[in-house]
Amino acid sequence: MPNQTFFNLPDKKRQKITDLAILEFAHADYDTASISNIVKQAKIAKGSFYQYFADKKELYLYVVNLAYDQRIAFIRENHPTPEPRDFFESLRWLFHVSVQFNLQQPLLTQVINRAAYGDSPVKKILLARAQATARQYIQDLVQKGMAQGDLIPTIDPDLATFIIVTASDNLKYYIPQKLGVETQKIAEDADFELNMQAIDHIFDQLVQVFKRGMGQR
């Protein structure tokens, strides 16, 4: 956790530092990201920075946790109405809302992706953190789905979770490739609505396969 001094800072200054840190860890992995660059951009002295954060690790953990928190909050805030009728409707909604977050918060998304795949001295802590968010959420959905009889009872819940989570995590590669657009560009693209329709169509197809593959009929 950052020092209290950091939280005593004027909101604007604290936010500036935070934003620049997010930018830095979105654009470069842990080792390549540079504190020197952050303080230069933020126009604060190195020494000041080290009054707020004990070291690079502390800043990194702070930033990554921030990113995860925001994603969780976003998903919570956008809970679907009406309540989904079954497991696959829930899944369908989760895909949609996840992509919304990725589009609205590309930098935070980058930070999270790097945290999941990259090297860092705090990798183990972050893996645990990752488990606790998206994966746990889907795991709960699966459990509920099985209890409700939406899923075939013979499937291993862990396997079902695995298949869905990995597909979900990697949609970020598939969608741009399929659409022939860069992820970052989708949000600012003139054909935004068209693209969103295409994305939703992909989700429909994907959920269809899952339903066929492990849904009760």
Partner DNA sequence: TAGTGATATGACCATAAAGTCACATTTATA
Partner DNA sequence: TATAAATGTGACTTTATGGTCATATCACTA
Shortest Å distance, C-beta 18 to DNA: 14
Residues in the chain: 217
Residue 133 binds to DNA (criterion: CB under 7 A): no
Residue 4: in which H helix or E strand, if any? helix 4-8
Alpha-carbon span 151 to 99, nearest angstrom: 24
Shortest Å distance, C-beta 118 to DNA: 14
Helix (H, G, I), strand (E, B) or coil at 103: helix
Residue 113 binds to DNA (criterion: CB under 7 A): no
Residues in contact with 170: Cβ distance below 8 Å, sequence separation at least 6, in sequence order: none
Q: Rule CB under 7 A: choose which of 1, 15, 46, 79 binds DNA.
A: 46
Shortest Å distance, C-beta 172 to its own copies: 11
| Residue 33: how many other CB atoms lie within 10 Å | 21
Q: What is the dihedral of CA 167, 162, 75, 28, to 10 degrees?
A: -70
CA 150 to chain centre: 27
Nearer Cβ to its own copies, position 174 or 192? 174
Nearer Cβ to DNA, position 47 or 82? 47
Q: Which stretch binds its own copies (CB under 8 A): 9-17, 23-31, 54-62, 183-191?
A: 23-31
Helix (H, G, I), strand (E, B) or coil at 155: coil
CA distances for 7 relative to 21, 57, 67, angstroms: 15, 18, 18
The binding track of 71-90 with respect to its own copies, each residue x by CB under 8 A or -, is: --------------------
Residues near its own copies (CB under 8 A), total: 28
Residue 158 binds to its own copies (criterion: CB under 8 A): yes
Whether the CB-CB separation of 38 and 49 falls below 8 Å is answered with yes
| Residue 73: how many other CB atoms lie within 10 Å | 11
Site for its own copies, residues 195 to 214, rule: CB under 8 A: 202, 205-206, 209-210, 212-214
Q: Which stretch binds DNA (CB under 7 A): 8-16, 74-82, 128-136, 143-151?
A: 8-16
Q: What residues make contact with DNA under the rule CB under 7 A?
A: 4-5, 8-9, 13, 33-37, 44-48, 50-52, 55-57
The footprint of its own copies (CB under 8 A) covers 28-29, 31-32, 117-119, 155-156, 158-160, 162-163, 166-167, 169-170, 174, 178, 202, 205-206, 209-210, 212-214
